[in-house]
Structure 1
Amino acid sequence: MSRKARWMVVALAATLGACSSVPNAQREAQRQAAYEAAAGAPVRSFHFYNLYSWEPLGDSQVVIYTQANRAWLLDVGQCQYLGFANTIGLTSFSGDVSVNFDKVLVGRGYPPCFISKIRPVDVARLKLEQQAQRKIDAEPREPAPAPATSR
């Protein structure tokens, strides 16, 4: 393969990669906005005994589910590796996770992310918000014009 052809392949791959990241960024922003809308007033701590599930929202927020219907939105400042972590951990003292004391752990060798804000998430409201985002406006297509006959 010639040098010019290689550069064209690289440029095409970079262009396609840039195009594919735009919808992902939009989806992430929509998820973050939905969680923000469903989050309540900040609290100082929450009871933590089991990590049911979690979802990163960029590199500054993470949602922690302690049960299927109980979630907490944590602000963690700049946590570089949060979006790439396969697993996370939380520090806690006597079963409580507290603001400005506990941390989100993103992996061995990476710096911990200090929790700066904790807000409870109204999971029922969040599900309603997500269902509203899924609705689409469907309209029937206009019939195609009849092909012109040629003589």
Structure 2
Amino acid sequence: MRSAPGCALLAVLVAAGLSACATGDRISDDERLAIYRAHAGEPVKSFRYFGRFDSWTPLGDEALAIWTRPQEAYLLEFDGSCYNLDFATAIALSDQGGMVYAKFDKVTVLGAGAGAVSIPCIIGEIRPLDTRAIKAAEADRRENGTQPADASDG
């Protein structure tokens, strides 16, 4: 079965447009981590955790951001790599009596696919995040392709 030349051209243009949308505006893990680091406060030893969190964002295999409330988030940097974090469908977070401690508690990757090993990732550092500044920086990056001022300091 043959298609009309116009239909083939239209299909190519649609595919190209979708491809541009998928890759042109995507922020890489390194860029996103730089944004989060640029908008993170000084390290804290712990944060309050009530057994659930609103959401989480993997930042490569070095770190993850976790939202404990809609406007409250923390950057968790790991001691070493946290394998399969980008492929996880869920994570588990350990705590001690409702508190998560740096150098003691862990993130465990769950649902990373068949055969994936779930090795707990030790939280090396916890830093509170300025969630509004992060959202603004990510939007600016998507719109203008700009980097945070200290992205190269990473």
Q: Structure 2 length normalisation: TM-score?
A: 0.68
Secondary structure at the aligned position of 2:86 is classed as helix
Amino acid in the other structure paired with 1:47: R
**Structure showing greater relative contact order (alpha-carbon pairs closer than 8 Å, 6 or more residues apart):** 2
Aligned length: 119
Q: CA, structure 1 residues 24+132, in 2 after alignment: closer, same or farther (shift >3 Å)?
A: closer
Instruction: State how 1:34-73 maps to structure 2 within 5 Å.
Output: 34-49=35-50, 50-73=52-75
The residue aligned with 1:28 is 29
The residue aligned with 1:103 is 106
RMSD: 2.6
Counterparts of 1:113 and 1:102 in 2: how far apart (Å)? 8
Secondary structure at the aligned position of 1:106 is classed as strand
**Structure number with bigger Rg:** 1
Q: Structure 1 length normalisation: TM-score?
A: 0.70
Deviation by residue 1:14-39 (Cα, 9 ceiling, x = unmatched): xxxxxx9x869962222111111111
Q: Give the unaligned 5+ runs of structure 1.
A: 1-19, 138-151
Q: CA, structure 1 residues 111+24, in 2 after alignment: closer, same or farther (shift >3 Å)?
A: farther
Counterparts of 2:96 and 2:106 in 1: how far apart (Å)? 11
Deviation at 1:86, TM superposition (A): 0.6
Q: CA, structure 1 residues 58+23, in 2 after alignment: closer, same or farther (shift >3 Å)?
A: farther
Q: Give the unaligned 5+ runs of structure 2.
A: 1-19, 112-116, 146-154
Q: CA, structure 1 residues 127+96, in 2 after alignment: closer, same or farther (shift >3 Å)?
A: same
Residue 86 (structure 1) aligned with residue 86 (structure 2): no
Deviation at 1:135, TM superposition (A): 3.1
Structure with the bigger percentage of strand: 2
